[in-house]
Chain A
Amino acid sequence: MTVITPVTTETVASSAPFWRLKGFPVIPVSILLFIAFVAVFADVLAPHDPQIGSLARRFKPPFWLEGGSLAYPLGTDHVGRDVLSRLIFGARVSMVVGITAVLVAGSIGTLLGIVSGYLGGWADQVVMRITDTWLALPALTFAIFLAAIVGPSELNIILILGLVYWTRYARVIRGEVLSLKQREFVRLAIVAGCSKSLIMWRHILPNVINSAVVLATLMLGVVIVTEASLSFLGVGVPPPKPAWGLMMADGKKGLMVGYWWLTVFPGICIMLMVLSANLLGDWLRVKFDPQLRQL
């Protein structure tokens, strides 16, 4: 028996709002939105000051354990600071560092990718050889090296992460531009007498933004893990600022004597955020740009 399947999914779905699209990662997006919400309203949400503690109440366990209290639901650390409040403010650090670092990396990489791809010739050679060299350096080691030179601060971390991760953008965007510049509308712009810079700005850039956004979402997870790693290693966000990586570093000595809540909660936060960002990025990648699938 022949069953005529109606044309569904893609064509019909394209008119539906994006959160109704097939396979839209509802849970990861909710988690990301929740973290963003927490980060924005940290001042209101946090029950205690994240940076001031009292030695009288150090190493209190979470509330459901013997000796815990609802005043400090996730316990306190080695100087008596509230873990929950630090996690809440830590979300702000992760979000701010993650997003701005991705923006920095994205701007440098997209710019160089467009210039390199569109102009070709020696400009392309120079940019791509630098990119190759850059990619040959192990990212984390390179970031530690840079952090050791300029010293740890939130701004420096953002710049360092931007400098370390722009190469992926440059590669992908360049590839995109190479095919775009063969497109008929770019040739028409050339024939109409537009200058190279105008063509790059008006005809190439808007057409690569899609890929750049997909890549940015994928990079967000990578950048957050690197930020946490740097903070953990002591070359990231300087204490007493509450960064998740830093909290894990501070708590690691406590693991031996059973103060597990100092490391497990920030660990869960990092994991949830990175996983959510990656799942969203994967979905966007498949949805918007099947060409990026191999990356």
Chain B
Amino acid sequence: MSSEPLLSLENLSAHYVSQQGTRVVRAVDDVTLSLKAGGTLGIVGESGSGKSTLALTILRLLPPAARIVSGRMMFEGENLLDKSDTEMRQVRGKRIAMILQDPMASLNPLFTIGDQVGEPLRVHDGASRATAWQRAVALLKSVRIASPETRVSQFPHEMSGGMRQRIVGAIGISCEPRLLIADEPTTSLDLTIQAQYLSLLRELQREHGLALIFITHNLGIVAKMCDQLAVMYAGKVVEQGPVSQIFSTPVHPYTKALLGSIPRMTDNRDHLTAIEGQPPDLASLPPGCSFAARCPMAFGRCRDEAPPEFAVGEGRTARCWLAVPNADAKAAMERSNVA
């Protein structure tokens, strides 16, 4: 394999447009990201920052009101935006699989586990019912379901929450996809099961050479699971790079604030740290940086001009005027600050 990334999004924008075309919500705005085969990318951000829309954009499953307005999505050397609907259907579940926000409700109550785990195989590989059933047993075993031979012919209501979740994981990996997108897969689980599930995902990832996109608002999960991190705010990736570097030296004030708001056992403060203010209305973004209104370090230029992505180190970028790389620009920045 070359060093070419498995998935690379280039200047991708997806907007919701109202029926009259008067309101445009920039849910995903100028996103550039890449993920190498077998890598794990965490996408964090608060609710409404465009994380889930980004996931749906990659699968081209946006609701009818939303449009991908620009950019490219290169996956294994092909631009997913050039594919027809039929071709995209062959990608979904086969090459890119996804685990939804609420895996507890992701199983059809009327079909056996075997039918549901085998379904992608029958759809994509034309497997017979018997073959799919055999594979389903093996898949259940690989997600550590005890006595898969009997479980396979049971119905979803006979399973516990954690088991259903692992079954959804088994459906995800059934066609051996190259990329698995997990959209907050653990929010509906309690903590011990969460931890089990996350380590299972890691193991599956190692065994099958999966690349993983992990969408979450839980930075603890990111620290445990991911090697790359992208922080989203108001539809834009404000900072991205290797997890360890971002955690140790965050550049963007939003990232700093996010990391600062994690409560720690050693804290003896009385209050939790929160980020003041509200995220902006995505339909009427301010002209400058969208975080400026809440940013403790904002200065004149931040409110007038949106910052582009600056490289801030090996494989790291940040959308912040504070990250301007060269000295001249810094000087210009200070001048504008004074004025």
Q: Check if B73 is an interface residue, CB within 8 A of chain A.
A: no
B→A interface (CB under 8 Å) = 59, 61, 64, 89-94, 97-98, 100-111, 119-120, 123-124, 168, 171
The answer on a CB contact under 8 Å between B105 and A193 is: no
Whether B90 contacts A193 by the Cβ 8 Å rule is: yes
A183 to B103 Cα, complex, angstroms: 11
- B89 adjacent to A188 (CB under 8 Å): no
Cβ-closest chain A residue relative to B98: A191
CB pair A193–B107 under 8 Å, yes or no, is: no
User: Nearest chain B CB to A34's CB is how many angstroms away?
Assistant: 33
* CB pairs A–B below 8 angstroms (15 shown): A184-B103, A184-B104, A185-B106, A185-B107, A185-B108, A185-B109, A187-B106, A190-B92, A191-B59, A191-B98, A193-B89, A193-B120, A194-B119, A198-B123, A202-B111
- In the bound complex, how far is the Cα of B120 from the Cα of A190, in angstroms? 10
State how many angstroms separate the Cβ of A193 from the closest Cβ of chain B.
4
Q: Are A188 and B94 in contact (CB under 8 A)?
A: no
**A184–B103 CA distance with the chains assembled, in angstroms:** 8
Nearest A-chain residue to B107, judged by Cβ: A185
Q: Tell whether A240 is near chain B: CB-to-CB under 8 Å.
A: no
Given contacts A184-B100, A198-B123, contact A191 B108 (CB under 8 A): no
Could you list 5 further interchain pairs (A-B, Cβ under 8 angstroms) beyond the known A183-B105, A194-B89, A206-B111? Answer: A121-B64, A189-B119, A192-B120, A203-B108, A207-B108
Residues of A near any B CB (own CB < 8 A): 121, 183-185, 187-195, 198, 202-203, 206-207
Q: Identify which of A188, A194, A206 gathers the most chain B CB atoms within 10 Å of its CB.
A: A188
In the complex the two chains form, is A184's CB within 8 Å of B105's CB? yes
Closest 3 CB pairs of A and B: A193-B93, A192-B93, A184-B105
Establish whether residues A193 and B100, one from each chain, have CB atoms under 8 Å apart when the complex forms: no
| Whole-angstrom distance between the Cβ of A49 and the nearest chain B Cβ | 48
Nearest opposing residue in chain A for B116, CB measure: A185
B98 and A193 contact, CB distance less than 8 A = no
**What is the distance, in angstroms, from B11's C-beta to the closest C-beta of chain A?**
25
Chain B proximity of A257: nearest CB distance (Å): 60
B127 to chain A minimum Cβ distance, whole angstroms, is 14
Contact A193 B106, CB 8 Å, known A184-B100, A188-B171, A198-B123: no
Q: Do A193 and B94 touch across chains, with their CB atoms under 8 A apart? A: yes
Cα separation A189 to B123 with both chains bound (whole Å): 10
How many residue pairs between the two chains, A and B, have CB atoms under 8 Å in the bound complex?
Answer: 65
Q: How far is the CB of A123 from chain B (nearest CB, A)?
A: 13
Q: Which residue of A lies closest to B172 (CB)?
A: A192
Complex contacts, A202 vs chain B, CB 8 Å: 108, 111, 119
Q: With A198-B123, A206-B110 in contact, do A192 and B92 touch (Cβ < 8 Å)?
A: yes
Check B100–A191 contact: CB distance below 8 A.
yes
Inter-chain contacts of A195 with B (CB < 8 A): 89, 123
Q: Is the CB of B106 within 8 A of A184?
A: yes
Given A192-B120, A193-B92, also A187-B100 (CB < 8 A) = yes
| Complex contacts, B106 vs chain A, CB 8 Å | 184-185, 187-188
- With a CB–CB cut-off of 8 A, which chain B residues contact A189? 108, 119
Chain A residues within 8 Å of B103, by CB: 184
Are B93 and A184 in contact (CB-based, < 8 A)? Answer: no
Q: How distant is the Cα of A191 from the Cα of B171 in the complex, in angstroms?
A: 11
Closest partner residue, chain B, to A207 (CB atom): B110
Q: How far is the CA of A189 from the CA of B174 in the complex (A)?
A: 13
How far is the CB of A246 from the nearest CB of chain B, in Å? Answer: 43
**Contact status A190-B108, CB under 8 Å:** no
Q: Which residue of chain B is the closest to A196 with respect to CB atoms? A: B89
Q: Assuming the A-B contacts A185-B106, A185-B108, are A192 and B123 also in contact, with contact meaning beta carbons closer than 8 angstroms in the complex?
A: yes
Of the candidates A121, A185, A193, A207, which one forms a contact with B124 in the assembled complex, judged by CB atoms under 8 Å apart?
A193
Q: Which residues of B contact A187 (CB under 8 A)?
A: 100, 106
Inter-chain CA distance A121–B65, complex, in Å, is 12
CA distance A190 to B98 in the complex (A): 10
Tell whether A191 pairs with B110 under 8 Å between CB atoms, given A183-B105, A184-B102, A184-B105: no
Cα of A189 to Cα of B118 in the assembled complex, Å: 12
Cβ distance B40 to chain A, nearest Cβ, rounded Å: 19
